[in-house]
Amino acid sequence: MYGQFTIIQGTNSPIRLEVDDDASDSIDISITLFDSSQNELKHWGINDVTIETNIITCPLTQDDTMGFPLNSNCYLEAKRSASDGTIIPYPRTSVTIEGRFDRYVLNEIFNE
């Protein structure tokens, strides 16, 4: 998990974490987005994410992102438990929340 992410308020683009190992053997996972004061903004567990080999995808909704602090620097922490019981922590990653003046939430339409 490297680099920096930007989340734009009012969007629903997922956070996609690329890790150095094959995370598909995870039996548990904890991924948390914190603000700069260490307040939890969003948490994902094993049942909330999608794992494809070394990519962990954390979904977000428009409502989620609209609730994040405007124009702030946050960080993401992640760790997982592998099938052999080993706890694997990943480096803390910086996340910038980009604010929007438009506060309307659009209808979310998904392909069926």
pTM to 2 decimal places = 0.85
- 66, 69, 71, 73: CA torsion to nearest 10: -130
Please report, in angstroms and rounded to a whole number, the separation of the first and last CA atoms in the chain.
31
Quick check: 95 and 7 in contact, CB under 8 A? yes
Between 31 and 108, the more confident residue is 31
What are residue 76's DSSP bridge partners?
Answer: 33, 93
Spatial CB neighbours of 110, under 8 Å, sequence gap ≥ 6: none
> Position 76: which residue type?
L
**6, two tokens:** 């930007």
pLDDT digits (tens, 9 = 90+) for 13-63: 999 999 999 999 999 999 999 999 999 999 999 999 999 999 999 999 998
Q: What are phi and psi of 62, to 5 degrees?
A: -60, -40
Fold entry, domain 4-98: Immunoglobulin-like (2.60.40)
